[in-house]
């Protein structure tokens, strides 16, 4: 189910150690991995397996000690400050427990990335307002534009975070445990947005998660990391985020003998 079959992310022989000359096991060890444009790709593995390190290498937040990381045709390790800034404009990022500015409305939070763009690339205020309104509709929160973060539920806040990550229409969206603090109903809402970002906006989505239900619900393939090594890349037998168990069903399943 790969839309175009061309790689947007390619890691070749990537090794990352956090301390030079450290004899300890590297955080990532000789990893080869390729993620296609248009995929929803899962990264799974136990705590400490190297999942976050992998995302940070793609985003240029850290550099590899060996090997190359290529994103949308750019060698990330060879980019200067300006190149990194351009790369990051093409990458949306969502983390667990998204941070929104509490004194700004939902719309003003979502507008932030547009306002931080270099002057030459800024849109007019009207265009920015339209982009914000469109992406808030897209995540199902058009009616919340003028509310403040404290007035929202956890799931709504996470969708505001998604809107903020998507407002610049990046070709790549990196998500680190985007649903880990949510219940099953709100998880399904967030997953629906991720699936629609791929289907309707053409965004490639990489999602770190420890929740295999999330992988089954939306991922085409998933990489299993084990202590820094890429153990295998699995093709996912998909279920559907719409068939995720309801909270009541889950409670019954988990608690009843």
Nearest to 204 by CA among 75, 77, 58: 58
The values of phi and psi at residue 59, to 5°, are -85, -5
Total Cβ atoms within 10 A of residue 248: 10
- Lateral strand order in the sheet of 221-226: 91-95, 172-176, 204-208, 40-44, 221-226, 229-235
According to DSSP, residue 146 is labeled T
Query: Is 17 an interacting residue with respect to ligand ADP (CB under 6 A)?
Result: no
Bridge partners (DSSP) listed for residue 14: 31
Query: Is 18 an interacting residue with respect to ligand ADP (CB under 6 A)?
Result: yes
Query: Is 45 an interacting residue with respect to ligand ADP (CB under 6 A)?
Result: yes
Query: Is 168 an interacting residue with respect to ligand ADP (CB under 6 A)?
Result: no
Structure tokens at 73: 């045709």
Stretch touching ligand ADP by CB under 6 A, among 43-51, 94-102, 216-224, 231-239: 43-51
Stretch touching ligand ADP by CB under 6 A, among 46-54, 70-78, 90-98, 233-241: 46-54
Nearest-approach distance from CB 143 to ligand ADP, in angstroms: 35
Decide: 58 and 206 in contact? Cβ < 8 Å: yes
Nearest-approach distance from CB 49 to ligand ADP, in angstroms: 4
Instruction: Please tell me the count of residues contacting ligand ADP according to CB under 6 A.
Output: 10
Query: Is 256 an interacting residue with respect to ligand ADP (CB under 6 A)?
Result: no
Query: Is 209 an interacting residue with respect to ligand ADP (CB under 6 A)?
Result: no
Whole-angstrom distance, CA of residue 57 vs CA of residue 63: 6
Site string for ligand ADP, 47-86 (x = CB under 6 A): xxxxxxx---------------------------------
- By the criterion CB under 6 A, which residues form the site for ligand ADP? 18, 27, 45, 47-53
């Amino acid at each position: 189910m790969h839309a175009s079959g061309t790689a947007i992310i390619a890691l070749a022989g990537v090794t990352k150690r956090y301390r030079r000359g450290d004899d300890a096991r590297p955080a990532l060890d000789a990893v080869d991995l390729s993620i296609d444009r248009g995929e929803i790709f899962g990264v799974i593995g136990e705590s400490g397996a190297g999942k976050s390190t992998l995302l940070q290498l793609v985003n240029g937040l850290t550099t590899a000690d060996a090997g190359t990381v290529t994103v949308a045709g750019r060698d990330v390790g060879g980019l200067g400050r300006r190149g990194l800034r351009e790369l990051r404009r093409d990458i949306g990022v969502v983390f667990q427990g998204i941070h929104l500015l509490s004194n700004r409305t939902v719309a003003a939070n979502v507008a932030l990335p547009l306002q931080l763009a270099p002057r030459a690339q800024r849109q007019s205020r009207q265009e920015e307002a339209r982009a914000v309104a469109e992406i808030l509709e897209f995540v199902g929160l058009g009616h919340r534009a003028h509310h403040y973060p404290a007035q929202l539920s956890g799931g709504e806040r996470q969708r505001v975070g998604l809107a903020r990550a998507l407002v610049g229409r990046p070709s790549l969206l990196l998500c680190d445990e985007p649903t880990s603090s949510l219940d099953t109903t709100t998880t399904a809402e967030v997953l629906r947005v991720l699936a629609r970002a791929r289907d309707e906006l053409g965004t490639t989505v990489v999602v770190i998660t420890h929740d295999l239900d999330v992988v089954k619900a939306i991922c085409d393939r998933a990489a299993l990391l084990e202590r820094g090594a890429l153990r295998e890349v699995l093709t996912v037998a998909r279920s559907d985020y719409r068939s995720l168990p309801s909270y009541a069903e889950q409670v019954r399943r988990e608690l009843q003998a």
